[in-house]
Chain A
């Protein structure tokens, strides 16, 4: 909550704190423009940051448990690239398909496209994962899918207009701030559907900590668990990527940080903890993104990578065997 307040109190227009509170609690302010900035811009952005942070972190946690691999995450396994591909086809390819361009630029259309893209890549990775037992190869396969999708995206960009390209590139920077209340509603609904499915897999995920054969021997339906985990991950990653662009590293780094701090593997504790850590870190990252100059905001993706990459490196260098 504190970070949320901190987050909405900072921005390119400085607003005094007492005004902030009076807008939040009494709905009035001495300046109409301040009220509008807070209500229509900063609060949606703060909520988006929390949804994005927790959703991506949980996707990362699910992938790490499912693949039994500490390096798994929505970004590394090419799921985010899949979502990008979906959006790329929608934005860049719409000139070729023409007809659907009306709905193409609505955020709803982007959400569906991104979810489909994420789901496709994730299923492909999982099919491959079933064939090869070696988890290292699975990661490499994920990276390969990632590069296939970026290749397709560059081919698409070659054939599209400058305007479309610009739209796609800006989307690719990642941004938390472009959502209106209406879009946010859609975001929250889809996000809640994804999150509520989580309760069905907490118990199976715990048994997966012993490996698939043990999980099966305590009566877990592996296929169901695996498919549901994949569906949840692609819904969450898909909708997040659609609305705020491919945001890197949060999904990989936050579960590790949380496991370090809470020192447990029990998903009953980890899932809420990861969600909270994810939202806090995303709020902080977003706050940093708007700090350096008060004039404009840095792309959020730059911040998460700047902060996420060193953590991953540090984890690898320490070679902790715990995870």
Chain B
């Protein structure tokens, strides 16, 4: 597959991520480097607590980096105003939505906030974009439902649709398939892959679905204690990098099945 567009949307130089508290800094990972082209579907893999969420939160400026740079389209992340950044990166988070009376349409419409006026009035263009993003995620029929009536699978689509309506180059999703059954997991990955391809979006997903990630991602980011390895799925399988994800002796990576299995030896 030949990429038409070699435009780099996201670049990370020597990034250190972690938390600052009164006691000092606690570093989660450091020396991270990578670059991502436009229209790439990226899956971020790593075991629990390795810092996947921290990395994604740092990339989307929910939490500050400790050192190094995040560069979006040749411009440093911290030079963006909040509103400019909102037109560059949109998010799908794992956190539960607070209780409210929002309908699906209203929820997706909130994705248009970076473009609306001071009181949040939707223009015709906004409404068009909202309808388009509902169409792209196949949820038009849910438009008038309340979001708390939806199943987890439907809600996930609504949240993806909201991110699409925000019309950004980059969409970041934190474990989007975590509450879903196997069918919805597969559908979600397929949907995200298609969106990256057809709409030329850079989609970054953190996930534990290694098998799904290998099958659908253009690029994998493997996060381990030592470093962050970037590569195409097949290449990472060949050179054995995937096996380093888990240090336990009880599980091994099976190259035929393309997933981790219990080590019976």
Q: Which residues of A contact B (CB under 8 A)?
A: 68, 70, 199-200, 202-203, 206-207, 209-211, 213-214, 216-221, 259, 263-266, 268, 321-323
Task: Flag if B99 contacts A219 (CB, 8 Å).
Answer: no
> Which chain B residue lies CB-closest to A70?
B99
Interface residues of chain A: helix, strand, loop or mixed (majority): loop
Which of A200, A213, A322 makes the CB contact (< 8 A) with B101? A322
Chain B residues whose C-beta falls within 8 Å of the C-beta of A323 in the assembled complex: 99-101
Question: Most chain-B CB neighbours within 10 Å: which of A210, A211, A217, A221?
Answer: A217
Task: Flag if A265 contacts B100 (CB, 8 Å).
Answer: yes
| Cβ contacts A to B, 9 pairs, < 8 Å | A199-B119, A206-B110, A213-B95, A214-B110, A216-B82, A219-B81, A219-B82, A265-B100, A323-B100
> B residues 126-149 with Cβ under 8 Å of A?
146, 148
Task: Flag if B119 contacts A268 (CB, 8 Å).
Answer: yes
- A315 to B: closest C-beta gap in Å: 12
- B115 to A: closest C-beta gap in Å: 9
Which of B81, B91, B106 makes the CB contact (< 8 A) with A266? B106
Which of B61, B82, B98, B106 makes the CB contact (< 8 A) with A220? B82
Cα-based distance from A264 to B107 in the complex (angstroms): 12
Task: Given A210-B97, A218-B166, check contact A202 B91 (CB 8 Å).
Answer: no
B86 interface residue per 8 A CB criterion: yes
Which of B85, B106, B118 makes the CB contact (< 8 A) with A219? B85
Task: Flag if B62 contacts A213 (CB, 8 Å).
Answer: yes
Task: Flag if A202 contacts B119 (CB, 8 Å).
Answer: yes
Beyond the given pairs A203-B118, A219-B114, 18 more chain A to chain B contacts, judged by CB atoms under 8 angstroms and listed by A's residue number, are A68-B98, A203-B113, A207-B110, A211-B95, A213-B62, A213-B91, A214-B93, A216-B61, A216-B82, A217-B60, A217-B86, A219-B83, A219-B85, A219-B87, A221-B82, A321-B99, A322-B101, A322-B146
Task: Given A203-B120, A219-B85, A322-B148, check contact A209 B98 (CB 8 Å).
Answer: yes
- B29 to A: closest C-beta gap in Å: 21
Chain A residues whose C-beta falls within 8 Å of the C-beta of B176 in the assembled complex: none
Task: Flag if B99 contacts A322 (CB, 8 Å).
Answer: yes
Chain A residues whose C-beta falls within 8 Å of the C-beta of B113 in the assembled complex: 203, 206-207, 218-220
- B87 to A: closest C-beta gap in Å: 8
With contacts defined as CB atoms under 8 Å apart, how many contacts are there between chain A and chain B in the complex?
Answer: 87
B102 interface residue per 8 A CB criterion: yes
> Which chain A residue lies CB-closest to B86?
A219
Cα-based distance from A42 to B92 in the complex (angstroms): 55
Cα-based distance from A196 to B185 in the complex (angstroms): 47
- A267 to B: closest C-beta gap in Å: 9
- B121 to A: closest C-beta gap in Å: 8
B39 interface residue per 8 A CB criterion: no
> Which chain A residue lies CB-closest to B93?
A213
- B34 to A: closest C-beta gap in Å: 21
Chain A residues whose C-beta falls within 8 Å of the C-beta of B60 in the assembled complex: 217
* 1/0 contact string of B59-75 vs chain A (CB within 8 Å): 01110000000000000
Chain B residues whose C-beta falls within 8 Å of the C-beta of A200 in the assembled complex: 118
Task: Flag if A321 contacts B148 (CB, 8 Å).
Answer: yes
- A157 to B: closest C-beta gap in Å: 40
B18 interface residue per 8 A CB criterion: no
Chain A residues whose C-beta falls within 8 Å of the C-beta of B100 in the assembled complex: 209, 265, 322-323
> Which chain B residue lies CB-closest to A69?
B98
> Which chain A residue lies CB-closest to B84?
A219
Task: Flag if A265 contacts B110 (CB, 8 Å).
Answer: no
Task: Flag if A259 contacts B89 (CB, 8 Å).
Answer: no
Task: Flag if A210 contacts B110 (CB, 8 Å).
Answer: yes
Cα-based distance from A209 to B147 in the complex (angstroms): 12
Task: Flag if B89 contacts A217 (CB, 8 Å).
Answer: yes
Cα-based distance from A219 to B99 in the complex (angstroms): 21
Task: Flag if B110 contacts A211 (CB, 8 Å).
Answer: no
Question: Most chain-A CB neighbours within 10 Å: which of B62, B87, B95, B120?
Answer: B120
